[in-house]
Amino acid sequence: MRTGYSQLPLHGGRAPRWLFARMKLLAREIICHLVAEYGPEGALQRLSDPFWFQAFGCVLGFDWHSSGVTTTTCGAVKEGIKDLQHDLGFFAAGGKGRVARRTPQEITRTCERTGYDAEVLIRASRLSAKVDSSAVQDGYQIYHHAFFFTRAGKWCVVQQGMNDDNGMARRYHWLGDEQSDFVEEPHAAVCCDHRGNTLNFVARESSIARSRVAELAARPDREVEKLIRRLPELVMPRRHWVQQADISPAYLHKILLKTYEQAPADFQSLLGIAGVGAKTLRALALTAELIYGTKTSVRDPARFSFAHGGKDGTPYPVDREGYDRTIEVLHRALSTAKVDRSDKIKALKRLASFADEPRQGAARTLPPAP
């Protein structure tokens, strides 16, 4: 399931080489200790927590609130454990830009040694990216996709999209296995201050619309054209995310030729068809509404829902025990890590600073809002 969102300002540039070298070493030690104490699944759970991940990036010493904390932290983990993955039973694939597109090949290479079915994991990787880029149309284009997994097929996704209009990035966290549901409220928490108009196919109230869209996609294009012609009146709703070109006969014909050939059994199958993206789903959604009268949700899935609560009691008072447990895990890992003493002391100071305010009863916020 989706475990959270984080909202971060877009920053350009790269981590200095001297810093990234240390980040790799420290990330390696922390992951090793997490796996030793909690197993590979425990490491996945923590990476999937948007607040734990943010604290992790802070401990590694990267810019505490920029978009780069996502790409650099994931890169440090992947590079740090690359020669230990099979010993740990904890594997990393994907990354930023072109590296993200190599995720299926990296998963396949790993599974050739572990014996796990690579197609199950590749499907999880592709569907989680497809949901965040097409099924939830919130204005953020995915450009970073990191996929972490275990020998048993448990997995975690940390991916990020950018919105050039508002200069922000939104990070998406997933945690799942081969039984995961990708199309019915897949997220457990969503944190975001910057919201806009959203077309949300994975909302619970979109369940009928999903069925109708999949049904429509499996019909011959001529049959759909006949249905539209029989409508007594075509009234276009005032929605900025639908363009007239989205439901033009030529475009619909092109869509339906492709989907009819593969005849999706349900919305998730439709989502998995190559080339079915945001524009295709918008067109099918509006056409299904015109024919069947079923609307797709426009509710932004963003929620003020935090892993440890909030200082003002929203959505609930700070979970001090859970917060302290997160700090304790990092503290124990760092205190026994085999890294240079000066680096360890600096990391502990950063962690202590991050933990100080929550331990006094107030949750530390991560503006603008994770």
Which residues are registered as beta bridge partners of 175?
156
Residue 361 has pLDDT above 50, yes or no: no
Q: What is the mean pLDDT of residues 325-348?
A: 66
Residue 249 has pLDDT above 50, yes or no: yes
Q: In this predicted model, what pLDDT tens digit does every residue of 127-171 receive, in sequence order?
A: 999 988 888 888 889 999 999 999 999 999 999 988 888 888 888
Residue 81 has pLDDT above 90, yes or no: yes
Residue 53 identity: F
pLDDT top residue among 292 and 209? 209
pLDDT top residue among 35 and 259? 35
**Parallel/antiparallel/unpaired status of strands 155-163 and 2-9:** unpaired
Per-residue confidence (pLDDT) for residue 297, from 0 to 100: 78
Closest CA to 72 of 112, 8, 116, 16: 16
CA distance 12 to 348: 27
**Angle at CA 262, nearest 5°, toward 259 and 263?**
75
Residue 306 has pLDDT above 60, yes or no: no
pLDDT top residue among 220 and 244? 220
pLDDT top residue among 23 and 96? 96
Per-residue confidence (pLDDT) for residue 304, from 0 to 100: 37
Counting residues of the chain whose pLDDT is more than 70, the rounded percentage is 63
User: What Cα–Cα distance (Å) separates residue 119 from each residue in 89, 110, 112, 133?
Assistant: 18, 12, 11, 21
Q: What is the mean pLDDT of residues 80-107?
A: 96
Confidence of residue 194 (pLDDT cuts 50, 70, 90): low
Per-residue confidence (pLDDT) for residue 62, from 0 to 100: 62
Per-residue confidence (pLDDT) for residue 6, from 0 to 100: 67
Closest CA to 56 of 158, 209, 197: 158
Report the 3 state secondary structure along the chain: CEEEEEEEECCCCCCCHHHHHHHHHHHHHHHHHHHHHHHHHHHHHHHCCHHHHHHHHHHCCCCCCCCHHHHHHHHHHHHHCCCCHHHHCEEEEEEEHHHHHHHHHHHHHHHHHHCCCHHHHHHHHHHHHHHHHHHEECCCEEEEEEEEEECCCCEEEEEEEEECCCCEEEEEEEEECCCCCCCCCCECCCCCCCCCCCEECCCHHHHHHHHHHHHHHCCCHHHHHHHHHHCCCCCCCCCCCCCHHHHCHHHHHHHHHHHHHHCCCCHHHHHCCCCCCHHHHHHHHHHHHHHHCCCCECCCCCCCCCCCCCCCCCCCCCCHHHHHHHHHHHHHHHHHCCCCHHHHHHHHHHHHHHHHHHHCCCCCCCCCEC
Confidence of residue 267 (pLDDT cuts 50, 70, 90): confident
Residue 16 has pLDDT above 80, yes or no: no
